[in-house]
Structure 1
Amino acid sequence: MADKMNVESFNLDHTKVKVPYVRLAGIKKGEYGDEIYKYDVRFKQPNVAHMEMPALHSLEHLLAELSRNHSDKIVDISPMGCQTGFYLSVINHDDYDDLLNILEATLNDVLSAKEVPACNEVQCGFAVSHSHEGAKELARAFLAERAAWKNVFA
């Protein structure tokens, strides 16, 4: 294997993971004691499948907005450039099982959402690229595999 790289996910053997999963990807400690926990929330098998951009984009909006209804510890939810998942960051919250419950509750909210939040030219940088139904399909499929979320490797 190549030398260790600065980006944690570049050191992950993507051929050995089995989706869906939620994996702790790193912990950053601040100089005043705060801790940021970064999770790899993988929806699609790397190098096999990916999320289509309109669905991914809508799911990003829905997760970002709705997750904060379940926790004030959410720092960010960002899509991966490879379109296979999201990075979810929380502050001062190391309870993995609770994080999974927050994610589950949020994804259930996605299924009942009547619209994609901030899906307009004022609040979004590419407002025409959304798929509410696509986002719901992604959420539904991920939730259907809830029992597997803790299993990262095949």
Structure 2
Amino acid sequence: MSDIELAEVESFALDHTKVKAPYVRKIGVERGPKGDAISNYDIRFVQPNHGEIPTAGLHTIEHTLAGLIRTRFEGLIDFSPFGCRTGFHLIAWGEPTPEQVAAAIKTSLEDLVQKVTWDDVPGTEAVSCGNYRDHSLHSAKEWAKVILEQGISLDAFDRSRIA
């Protein structure tokens, strides 16, 4: 073992074998020097270590939901995919409730499935994306359907509270 010091990262302390995706989980709230709150959410779409969203579909979900969620509640700072491709971090100003976050995610996924066309997907050209060729609206829609069919739980460990 090396003597490098690493800070503890909450996500790596989570027992990924016990969670039950899809779910919305509030990771925590950080406060700035002036008291401003920033909330961090684990938006898990796929059961960890049992599957993953292909990169092209994940990329299209990221780009599309980043815009759709912003129309559903104020304060979204970022919606970024996990490297494991099982979900996203959602970072927001203030303290939106898990119910508010889940509702925004659910209606955004519904719009992705029912309304979004290729022309609606932002960042699909070289000028607006660092890997614009790696998108799939078909994959994004298929994964969104699966997530919606399963329902989004408001508890990472219990599927009885579906949003």
Matched residue SS, 2:25 = strand
Q: Per-residue deviation at 1:76?
A: 0.5
Moved over 6 A (4+): none
Deviations 1:57-107 (A, max 9, x none): 111000111111112211110000011110011111332212211111211
Amino acid at match of 2:140: A
- Secondary structure (helix, strand or coil) at the match of 2:111 reads helix
Q: How many pairs are equivalent? A: 150
Task: Measure the CA separation in 2 of the matches of 1:103 and 1:20.
Answer: 11
How do 1:102-117 residues align onto structure 2 when only pairs under 5 Å count? 102-111=104-113, 112-115=115-118, 116-117=121-122
**Seq. identity, %:** 40
AA aligned opposite 1:103: I
Contact 2:29 2:95 in 1 (8 A): no
Superposed CA offset, 1:125-144 (max 9, x none): 11111100111111111112
TM-score after normalising by structure 1: 0.91
Q: What is the aligned partner in structure 1 of residue 140 from structure 2? A: 135
Q: Which residue of 1 aligns with 2:21?
A: 19
Equivalent in the alignment of 1:151: 155
Following TM superposition, by how much is the alpha carbon of 1:46 offset from its aligned partner in structure 2, in angstroms? 1.0
Alignment RMSD, CA only?
1.6
Contact 1:42–1:86 (8 Å) recurs in 2: yes
Decide whether the 8 Å contact of 2:41 with 2:89 is kept in 1: yes
Structure 2 gaps of 5+ residues are 1-6, 159-163
Residue matched to 2:82: 80
SS in 2 for 1:49: coil
| Distance in structure 2 (CA, Å) of the matches to 1:19 and 1:96 | 15
What CA distance in whole angstroms lies between the structure 2 residues aligned with 1:145 and 1:28?
A: 31
Corresponding position of 1:124: 129
Separation in 2, partners of 1:93, 1:142 = 24
